[in-house]
Homo-oligomer: A and B are copies of this chain.
Amino acid sequence: MQAASPHPSTPDCRRTALITAAISEFAANGYLAASTNRIVEAAGVSKGLLFHYFGNKKGLYMEAVQTCVTEVIRHFDERLGPTSTDVFERLRQYTLAKWSLVEEEPSIFAFLQEAMTNPPAELQTDLQAATAEIVASTYQRLFQDIDTSTFRPGVTVEQAMRLLSWTFDGLGKQYVTILQQQPLDLASVRSVIFGEVDTYVTLLRHGIERDPS
């Protein structure tokens, strides 16, 4: 009944706005509790446009996931330079890249993590397909050309990687929790954590390698 605004400021400008708003909303509230009303309001577009572009809430969700997957892979491609064959160094670099993602694009990270750990049930299969790419690329990044010659006998590269990964993730959560509870300045918290990282690395070297330096 009403006319459209004369010039869409930039091509796909509204589409992008919708996806951005959707990522924040889904990250904050999960799939079911997210409100398409709030999304269009945040994006500053009409209610109808969301469904014109994405068909339904599920379509919007899937497109948002796709956007994040692409962005995350791009982020890692950019951050991860020449790789080391040392499992500790490899995972250290990967973890740093991941933490920089958390800091620079918190909602993208939060959204994707939520999408991969608490998938909305009715989207589970679609999601697995959409996130397969990120899983495969991560696997490649982490495991390719690791030097296992220094490992204790019986220790596999997968076990070593998992152990390191759990450790660094655990440290990451601790770091987030501390920041949430008493908002210190980021720099000082970071230095504490980085100190602790060294302790854990030393500790795990003694576990994983035969003859750690």
Contacts and interface: CB of A to CB of B under 8 A. Distances in A.
Contact of A170 (B162, B196, B199, B200): B162
B159 A167 contact: no
Nearest to A28: B121
A152 B155 CA distance: 21
Contact of A208 (B154, B155, B159, B203): B203
Interface residues of A, number: 26
A120 to B, nearest CB: 9
Interface in A160-193: 162-163, 165-167, 169-170, 174
A29 B120 CA distance: 9
Work out how many copies of this chain go into the complex.
4
**Interface residues of A, dominant DSSP:** helix
A185 to B, nearest CB: 23
A129 interface: no
A154 B207 contact: no
Contacts of A170: 162-163, 165-166
Interface string A196-208: 1001100111111
Nearest to A169: B166
A167 B119 CA distance: 24
Nearest to A170: B166
A136 interface: no
B32 A203 contact: no
Contact of A33 (B32, B162, B163, B204): B32
B32 A200 contact: no
Contact of A166 (B159, B166, B203): B166
Given A30-B32, A33-B33, A159-B196, 6 more contacts: A29-B32, A159-B203, A163-B167, A203-B208, A205-B207, A207-B208
